[in-house]
């Protein structure tokens, strides 16, 4: 079947015959505890789409008999799984070049992690500042194509590591241009993270500059929805992160926090205290942090791809977070120098094999809870009437195959608001001579 372009979707679209239709229908808020297992599975399921939104969803025969379905363009999902498009709630899409030498050094066990991390971030800052905007934009667009191929339909995009005025505005202009992408991009100002080289040893002054010069300008122009802060070695001090986050909140911006990635810093507690929408990373979160998150509305966003690529020894305590009742999301943490993957299916595999999440928990965490971590669960993250028709079809007959086949791309079709953006083609084999 050819791709359905915008002109063709004036007609209703009927996806029929799904071996498993994972609707993710369930509670209104983020999923916690046993609710993470509620995938809303319908066998022989069908989805009827009209005007880019889900019109009806349910058992195949019932949906096919609706009057609106009679003139619909049909998509046969026989022996396939249909589920919501992945929602990737933590990415550094506008980032530096791949750090191939550092990667090779880690393989050879010659890696001083702290030194390599500093060098990697300095190189990323230089790359953003010196690379032409057109090159950075082209690189990002190629990456967005990969996200689409692997089934992501909504993603957060943080500003790059440019950090000074020119580098930041370059990142924001690129993100604004990418906003015309078929995907929903949620922009985040990562202003209190790494400290730029020119402010080394003067972290407090850097935050002063951010608050005086950049934050009001960005908020006034409505360039971002969230701000992000990181605490710890090489990043902001806790008191500076607090100033930054409180200033952003006063301007009506949502809050996100890089919490406990390299050491315990009390950043998770700060995220909860300030009602941040998410606390991300959490590799060094302790029992008190887990209890605090479990009693809050802050979503614990976990990034197993980052841990895997950097060869770190400590994963976020996913099992304990879930068992204590925290709302957990999964994201790629995409970064060309630290987590270079667009494949949320691989993230699910790592979450199951390395962090002991169940396949159902991982799917909920990468769809509906990812949407809650971006404040857009009213539109995406589940297949329900009235929501955007953001769907993916996978070449599998059981949802547990998604994390089981690690590193593979099972996606056969990606649909955004009822438009097919990607469809897998047939392998072309030459005729034997």
CA distance linking residue 140 with residue 174, whole number of Å:
9
Across 413-428, average pLDDT: 94
- Does residue 124 carry a pLDDT above 80? no
Question: How confident is the model at residue 321, as a pLDDT?
Answer: 98
Q: What is the mean pLDDT of the chain?
A: 91
Residues sharing a CB contact under 8 Å with residue 334, sequence separation 6 or more, in sequence order? 88, 90, 91, 92, 93, 95, 143, 305, 340, 341, 342
Q: Which residue has the tokens 């998150």?
A: 293
377: helix, strand or coil: coil
- Does residue 400 carry a pLDDT above 90? yes
Residues sharing a CB contact under 8 Å with residue 65, sequence separation 6 or more, in sequence order? none
Across 312-325, average pLDDT: 96
Question: How confident is the model at residue 6, as a pLDDT?
Answer: 47
pLDDT band at 162 (very low <50, low <70, confident <90, very high): low
Q: How far is CA 313 from CA 49, 316, 338, 353, 357, in A?
A: 45, 10, 15, 14, 18
> Do the beta carbons of residue 212 and residue 218 sit within 8 Å?
no
Report pLDDT digits (tens) over 28-66. 999 999 999 999 999 999 999 999 999 999 999 999 999
pLDDT band at 410 (very low <50, low <70, confident <90, very high): very high
- Does residue 211 carry a pLDDT above 50? yes
Across 75-90, average pLDDT: 98
The pLDDT > 90 percentage for the chain reads 72
Q: How far is CA 51 from CA 11, 99, 385, 422, in A?
A: 8, 44, 12, 19
| Structural domains of the chain, ranges and CATH numbers in brackets | 8-84+382-423 (2.30.40.10), 87-372 (3.20.20.140)
Question: How confident is the model at residue 3, as a pLDDT?
Answer: 55
- H helix or E strand, kind and range, residue 264: none
Reading the block at residue 101, the tokens are: 């030498």
> Do the beta carbons of residue 399 and residue 41 sit within 8 Å?
yes
385: helix, strand or coil: coil
CA distance linking residue 10 with residue 2, whole number of Å:
16
CA distance linking residue 141 with residue 86, whole number of Å:
18
pLDDT band at 4 (very low <50, low <70, confident <90, very high): low
Reading the block at residue 82, the tokens are: 């249909």
> Do the beta carbons of residue 258 and residue 235 sit within 8 Å?
yes
Reading the block at residue 3, the tokens are: 């791709």
pLDDT band at 209 (very low <50, low <70, confident <90, very high): very high
Record the pTM: 0.94
């Amino acid at each position: 079947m050819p791709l359905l372009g915008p002109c063709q979707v004036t007609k209703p679209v009927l996806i029929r015959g799904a071996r498993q239709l994972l609707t993710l229908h369930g509670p209104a808020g983020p999923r916690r505890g046993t609710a993470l297992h509620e995938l809303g599975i319908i066998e022989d399921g069908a989805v009827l789409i009209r005007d880019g939104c889900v019109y009806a969803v349910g058992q195949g025969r019932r949906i096919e008999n609706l009057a609106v379905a009679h003139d619909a363009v049909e998509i046969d999902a026989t022996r396939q799984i249909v589920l919501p498009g992945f929602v990737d709630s933590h990415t550094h899409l506008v980032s530096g070049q791949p750090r191939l030498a550092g990667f090779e050094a880690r393989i050879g066990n010659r890696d001083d992690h702290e030194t390599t991390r500093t060098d990697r971030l300095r190189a990323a800052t230089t790359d953003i500042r010196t690379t032409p905007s057109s090159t950075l934009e082209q690189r990002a667009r190629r990456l967005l194509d990969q996200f689409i191929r692997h089934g992501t339909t909504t993603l957060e995009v943080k500003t790059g590591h440019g950090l000074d005025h020119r580098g930041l505005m370059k990142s924001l202009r690129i993100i604004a241009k990418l906003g015309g992408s078929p995907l929903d991009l949620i922009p985040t100002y990562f202003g209190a993270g790494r400290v730029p080289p020119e402010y080394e040893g003067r972290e407090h002054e850097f935050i002063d500059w951010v608050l005086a010069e950049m934050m009001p300008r960005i908020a006034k122009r409505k360039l971002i929805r969230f701000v992000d802060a990181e605490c710890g070695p090489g990043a902001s001090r806790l008191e500076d992160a607090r100033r930054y986050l409180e200033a952003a909140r006063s301007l009506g911006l949502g809050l996100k926090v890089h919490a406990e990635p390299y050491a315990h810093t009390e950043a998770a507690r700060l995220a909860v205290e300030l009602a941040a929408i998410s606390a991300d990373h959490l590799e060094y979160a302790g029992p008190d942090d887990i209890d605090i998150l479990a009693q809050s509305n802050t979503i614990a966003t976990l990034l197993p791809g980052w841990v895997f690529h950097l060869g770190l020894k400590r994963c976020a305590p996913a099992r304990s977070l879930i068992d204590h009742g925290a709302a957990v999301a999964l994201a790629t943490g995409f970064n060309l120098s630290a987590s270079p993957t667009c494949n949320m299916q691989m993230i699910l595999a790592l979450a199951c094999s390395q962090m002991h999440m169940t396949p159902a928990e991982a799917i909920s965490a990468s769809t509906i809870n990812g949407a809650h971590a971006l404040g857009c669960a009213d539109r995406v993250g589940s297949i329900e009437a009235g929501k955007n028709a953001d769907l993916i079809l996978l070449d599998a007959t059981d949802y547990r195959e998604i994390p089981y086949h690690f590193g593979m791309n099972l996606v056969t079709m990606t649909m955004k608001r009822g438009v097919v953006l990607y469809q897998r083609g047939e392998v072309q084999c030459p005729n034997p001579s």
